[in-house]
Amino acid sequence: MSQQQWTAVDDYFTEVLIGHDPVLDAAQQAADAAGLPRIAVSAPQGKQLQLLAETLGARRILEVGTLGGYSAIWMARALPADGRLVTLEIDPVHADVARGNLKHAGFAEIAEVRLGPAADSLQQLADEGADPFDLVFIDADKPGNPVYFAWALRLTRPGSLIVVDNTVRAGKVAEADSTDPAVLGVRRLHDAIAAEPRVSATSIQTVGAKGYDGFTLIRVRA
């Protein structure tokens, strides 16, 4: 099996299940024009986030790691008109592109991009006494995963779902002696989940347009 084949299959699923999406295409074009890295979730992965949010009946969504707002648009599509999406981004250029894309997608009222290190913004949300989030998508710097997971637990409620992207790292997650900071971040996340009685979790390996990676689903126990 080759990357070429995985991409062809993602292209096929995108064509047959998602189709032409001018809003998402424009968002990707704006991200490219601004020189953002092409590391947003794939269209099938974005749709999965939307479906999860819809299944949860999510009214409040938190994202850690905005980039150009591509995954944020997918998740915002699941929200009711009075829903809320807060997405955290450290890079001012990324945050600007995301604000433009979310506005163009019609989510200027629903979505808020908070600029700064996610750990600071998460502390700020807790200090503000933010209402619990129904869904949290963690997709920023991978060494930060354990810290973001701890905050996600504080900012959710029983029954909420926490999704963490990129938790397989082309299989490197299984290397117990790895010194790669991203791999360590993902392994420490799994240790933290294992030590946390308030959650139930699984990790799933994936292949696709973005290569061999995967994601972790964490349910806060009801």
What's the one-letter identity of residue 67?
L
What number of other Cβ atoms are within 10 A of residue 151's Cβ? 22
Distance in angstroms (rounded) separating the CA atoms of residues 73 and 27: 9
Q: Which does 117 bind (CB under 5 to 8 A by kind): Mg ion, ligand DHB, ligand SAH, none?
A: ligand SAH
Q: Shortest Cβ distance from residue 177 to ligand SAH (Å)?
A: 25
Q: How many residues does the chain have?
A: 222
Neighbours of 9 (CB within 10 A): 15
Q: How many residues bind ligand DHB (CB under 6 A)?
A: 4
Q: What is the smallest separation between the CB atom of 197 and ligand SAH, expressed in angstroms?
A: 28
Q: Is 166 left (phi over 0), alpha (psi -120 to 50) or beta?
A: left
Minimum distance, C-beta of residue 214 to ligand DHB, in the bound complex (Å): 10
Amino acid of residue 189:
L
Helices 22-33 + 92-104 axis angle, to 10: 160
Compare residues 174 and 204 and give the one whose CB is closer to ligand SAH: 204
Output the smallest distance, CB 145 to ligand DHB, in A: 11
Binding site for ligand SAH (CB under 6 A): 39-41, 65-67, 70-71, 88-91, 94, 117-118, 139-141, 144
**Pair type for strands 156-165 and 211-220:** antiparallel
Quick one: 63 or 165, whose CB is closer to ligand DHB? 165
Note whether 89 binds ligand DHB by CB under 6 A.
no
Residue placing its CB nearer to ligand SAH in the complex, 150 or 197: 150
**Which residues contact ligand DHB (rule: CB under 6 A)?**
39, 139, 165-166
